[in-house]
Amino acid sequence: MIVTLRELAPEDAGALLSLQHRLDQETAYMMLAPGERKSEIQQVEEMIASFAKADTSILIGAEAGGELAGYLSVRGGSFSRNKHSAYIVIGILKQYQGMGIGNGLFIEMDRWAKASGIVRLELTVMIHNERAVALYTRQGFDIEGVKKKSLLVNGEWVDEYYMSKLFTPALI
């Protein structure tokens, strides 16, 4: 199957919102539970446009099988003290996992981050999400710490790892 990776544009809002709703339904690893996502297409269009305008942010989509199969968002800081740092979120539909899409999204993200002057990438991941932890570790992320009782999922407390990846800055 051919997978295309590209920066998302406001006209992708419907596909992204549909993907996010599907991810909310099929996994408990994303932040929102089924039915919690209240975004409308106009809000998603505005969010995508805000990513495009920001020098320290990008929203990358992965298309496969004629649909948006996954995405990776990188939201960077907007102040002098944190514009070198960005927080990432990734989501890939189950039917497309294990096909190298996550790896491809991270390669694109790293290329963009280095060109954009990002020095620090960070994320949180539920400790029991072993597949994601393995992906992030393979991609060069290190565990910095544990956020105890970080989330309440299906009535159970869930701890999260705080992970980061650092690049050597070109200029300080």
Distance between CA atoms of 131 and 42, rounded to whole angstroms? 33
* DSSP designation for 79: S
**Would you tell me how many other CB atoms lie within 10 Å of the CB of residue 152?**
10
Beta bridge partners of 146: 161
Q: Which domains are present in the chain?
A: 3-119 (3.40.630.30)
How is residue 164 written in tokens? 């980061």
Distance between CA atoms of 16 and 37, rounded to whole angstroms? 12
**Would you tell me how many other CB atoms lie within 10 Å of the CB of residue 2?**
6
Give the angle 108-151-126 at the CA atoms, nearest 5°: 40
Cβ burial of 147 (10 Å; 0-12, 13-18, 19+) is middle
Structure confidence by residue, pLDDT tens digits, 136-162: 999 999 999 999 999 999 999 999 999
Q: Kindly state the percentage of the chain with pLDDT values over 70.
A: 98
Structure confidence by residue, pLDDT tens digits, 66-117: 899 999 999 999 899 999 999 999 999 999 999 999 999 999 999 999 999 9
Residues 6+ apart with CB under 8 A from 5: 60, 61, 62, 63, 104, 105, 108
User: Is residue 21 scored above 90 in pLDDT?
Assistant: yes
User: Is residue 170 scored above 90 in pLDDT?
Assistant: no
- Which phi and psi (to 5°) does residue 35 adopt? 85, -10
